């Protein structure tokens, strides 16, 4: 039986590998194809649309230009492509063994971004962000990290281009994942737990709540304060902004070519969504086809029940950070004051969502679902036991919905082609897996009252 199963599967293709030559030469900008224009970004003081000069203290001009660009294709500079070659193109897998375990007629594919040096999709934007900063003379970059994946990615990219990196790591993750901190330090970065004593805002938060577990919103405030108060320092964000989502589109562009190699077209495209970048990276090139060519890819963003901005938040102007230092963006938000429970998918603990992803959800071009952490870990373990790769806690949310789709296809007796983004590995997340395996992982109910209170503090625009 066992031998037969292996013999059957050996005749089927499992990995779809692109030659380096076929790595994308440009990023895909969905703004060029959107049926509805994006809302302007507003100045937090005046409530008026901001201009490049307002962002110049934080970002290099090349990234500001990308942030507001409506060009469909933006060329990837050669030094960035050269660094991408360290791990790109990333493989696409067909999950034959998971399909068999589920006894489903569905075909399941996953794009695996865990092959990058940092272990996730985050270097796809860390590398160009470090590159453009270097070209424009930045010496030092400050940033936040939730899961530790973004901090690792920027630390790695900083090492490649000779930039100092300071990382404000959300306290809950700092305590759960000491090895992530050590990886960042090995790349040469300086890491502090956020809230920290090194910024005015961090000191204020700690004086009011000494046991604060931190949040991405607080860590962003600290990193922005750091960059805004030093001439030699710029700020870098690992998600949410248009230019970050843009850089991630190498994922979906490669996946389109790899699905062609497999001779299939996905019915449904799935990604987990914290700030929205890995989800956008995989799905935007497919959505671009929907807009331009009339294809009908169904696209699902999956978020945690503990921070369900797309499924339960309001679509409104809000701050990207807790201290109200960032510009106002129109997005699905739970309120900038909202601090999600310390779930293990640290990268999904964010009160807001990328404006571009929010716009697509608001106008019905994508769907969204929320998942509890125990159900997502159950899916992650099931995946690991069949496919071998240990997923990061974040993409277990996408895996859960991919499995649900496969089981639905089985119940309906229908074929279905499912593609999801396995955006990172979980080798530094074993504490979370241990808690799950020993029955100590808790689900957090949707905190309706906390969200209500946070929404009451939304800025009036
Ligand atoms: C592995 C992984 N997946 C997903 C996310 C969520 O971010 P985004 O929604 O921008 O992909 C993170 C963020 O840290 C992450 O580390």
pLDDT averaged over every residue in the chain? 96
pLDDT of residue 201: 97
Tell me the mean pLDDT in the region 16-27: 98
Helix H or strand E segment including 315: strand 314-319
pTM for the complete prediction? Answer: 0.96
pLDDT over 50 (residue 7): no
Ligand 1 atom nearest the C-alpha of 277 is: 10
pLDDT in tens, 429-438: 999 999 999 9
How far, in Å, is the centroid of ligand 1 from the Cα of 111? Answer: 14
Ligand 1 in contact with 275 (CB < 6 A)? yes
| Residue 1 predicted with pLDDT over 50 | no
Q: What are phi and psi of 322, to 5 degrees?
A: -80, -35
Ligand 1 site, residue 345, Cβ cutoff 6 A: no
pLDDT (0 to 100) of residue 342: 86
How close is the Cα of 6 to the center of ligand 1, in Å?
34
pLDDT in tens, 52-85: 999 999 999 999 999 999 999 999 999 999 999 9
Cα 7 to middle of ligand 1, angstroms: 37
Torsion, Cα 102 103 106 108, to 10 degrees, reads 40
Query: Which among 114, 112, 110 has a CA at the least distance from the CA of 403?
Result: 110
pLDDT at 346: 87
Q: Please work out whether the CB of residue 123 comes within 6 Å of at least one atom of ligand 1.
A: no
Judged by phi (left if over 0) then psi (alpha if -120 to 50, else beta), residue 443 lies in beta
| Ligand 1 centroid from CA 344, angstroms | 12
Ligand 1 center to 31 CA (angstroms) = 22
Ligand 1 mutation pick, 122, 123, 167, 245, max ligand atoms within 8 A of CB: 122
More confident residue, 377 or 1: 377
pLDDT score for 8:
52
pLDDT band per the 50, 70, 90 thresholds, residue 445: confident
Q: CB within 8 A of 282, min separation 6: which ones?
A: 111, 248, 251, 252, 255, 269, 271, 419, 420, 421
Q: Enter the tokens of residue 180.
A: 């992530």
Q: What is the pLDDT of residue 343?
A: 87
DSSP 337-381: T------S-GGG--S---HHHHHHHHTTSSEEEEE-HHHHHHHHH
Running DSSP on this structure, what letter comes out for residue 20? G
Model confidence at 458: pLDDT above 70: yes
Residue 404 has pLDDT above 90, yes or no: yes
Torsion (CA) 61, 65, 68, 72 in degrees, nearest 10:
-160
Q: Does the pLDDT value for residue 48 go beyond 60?
A: yes
What is the 12 CA–ligand 1 centroid distance (Å)?
A: 31
Q: Which residues pair with 328 in a beta bridge?
A: 42, 319
Q: What does the chain come to in residues?
A: 461
Query: What are the tens digits of pLDDT across the range 108-163?
Result: 999 999 999 999 999 999 999 999 999 999 999 999 999 899 999 999 999 999 99
Answer yes or no: is the C-beta of 151 below 6 A from any ligand 1 atom: no
How far is Cα 250 from Cα 88, in angstroms, rounded to an integer?
A: 9
Q: Whose CA is nearest to atom 13 of ligand 1?
A: 347
Task: Check if 394 has its Cβ closer than 6 Å to any atom of ligand 1.
Answer: yes
Ligand 1 centroid – CA 411 distance (Å) = 31
For residue 325, the tally of other CB atoms under 10 A from its CB is 18
Q: How large is the average pLDDT for residues 96-101?
A: 98
Q: 2 pLDDT exceeds 70?
A: no
CA distance to 46, 77, 279, 283, per residue, from 419 (Å): 43, 29, 12, 10
Q: What is the largest CA-CA distance in the chain?
A: 70
Q: Are 159 and 136 in contact (CB under 8 A)?
A: no
Average pLDDT over every residue of 219-227: 97
Is the shortest distance between the CB of 277 and ligand 1 below 6 Å?
Answer: yes
Distance from the alpha carbon of residue 104 to the mean position of ligand 1, in angstroms: 29
Residue carrying the six token digits 């690992």: 238
Integer Rg of the chain from CA: 21
The answer to whether residue 253 scores a pLDDT higher than 90 is: yes
HSE on the CB side for 424, CA within 13 Å?
A: 32
Indicate the top mutation candidate among 215, 275, 343, 351 to test ligand 1's pocket, ranked by most ligand atoms within 8 A of CB.
275
Ligand 1 midpoint to CA 394 (Å): 6
pLDDT at 182 over 80: yes
């Amino acid at each position: 039986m066992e031998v037969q199963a292996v013999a059957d599967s050996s005749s089927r293709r499992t990995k779809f590998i692109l030659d380096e030559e076929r790595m994308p030469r440009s990023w895909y900008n969905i703004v060029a194809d959107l049926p509805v224009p994006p809302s302007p970004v507003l100045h937090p003081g005046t409530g008026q649309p901001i201009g490049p000069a307002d962002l110049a203290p934080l970002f290099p001009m090349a990234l500001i230009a990308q942030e507001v660009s409506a060009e469909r294709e933006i060329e990837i500079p050669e030094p960035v492509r050269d660094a991408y070659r360290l791990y790109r193109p990333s493989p696409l897998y067909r999950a034959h063994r998971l399909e068999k375990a589920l006894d489903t007629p569905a075909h399941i594919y996953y794009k695996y971004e865990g092959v990058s040096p940092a272990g996730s999709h985050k270097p796809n934007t860390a590398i160009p962000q470090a590159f453009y900063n270097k070209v424009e003379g930045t010496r030092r970059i400050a940033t936040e990290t939730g899961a530790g994946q973004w901090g690792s990615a920027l630390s790695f990219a900083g090492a490649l281009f000779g930039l100092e990196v300071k990382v404000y790591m959300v306290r809950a993750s700092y305590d759960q994942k000491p090895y992530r901190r050590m990886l960042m330090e090995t790349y040469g970065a300086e890491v502090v737990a956020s809230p920290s004593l090194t910024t005015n805002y961090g000191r204020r938060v700690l004086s009011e709540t000494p046991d604060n577990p931190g949040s991405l919103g607080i860590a962003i405030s600290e990193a922005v304060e750091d960059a805004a108060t030093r001439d030699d320092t710029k700020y870098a964000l690992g998600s949410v902004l248009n230019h970050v989502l843009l850089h991630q589109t190498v994922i979906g562009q490669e996946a389109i070519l790899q699905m062609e190699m497999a001779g299939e077209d996905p019915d449904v495209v799935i990604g987990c969504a914290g700030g929205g970048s890995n989800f956008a990276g995989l799905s935007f090139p497919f959505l671009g086809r929907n807009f331009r060519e009339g294809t009908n890819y169904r696209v699902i963003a999956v978020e945690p029940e503990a921070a369900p901005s797309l499924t339960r938040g309001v679509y409104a102007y809000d701050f990207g950070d807790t201290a109200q230092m960032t510009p106002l963006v129109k997005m699905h938000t739970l309120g900038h004051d909202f601090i999600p429970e310390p779930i293990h998918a640290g990268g999904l603990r964010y009160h807001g969502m990328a404006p571009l992803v929010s716009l697509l959800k608001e106008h019905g071009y994508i769907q969204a679902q929320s998942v509890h952490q125990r159900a997502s870990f159950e899916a992650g373990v099931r995946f690991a036991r069949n496919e071998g790769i240990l997923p990061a806690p974040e993409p277990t949310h996408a895996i859960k919905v991919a499995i649900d789709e496969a089981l639905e296809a089985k119940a309906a007796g229908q074929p279905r082609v499912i593609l999801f983004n396995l955006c990172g590995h979980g080798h530094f997340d074993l504490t979370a897996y241990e808690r799950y395996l020993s029955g100590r992982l808790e689900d957090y109910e949707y905190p309706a009252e906390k969200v209500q209170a946070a929404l009451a503090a939304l800025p009036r625009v």
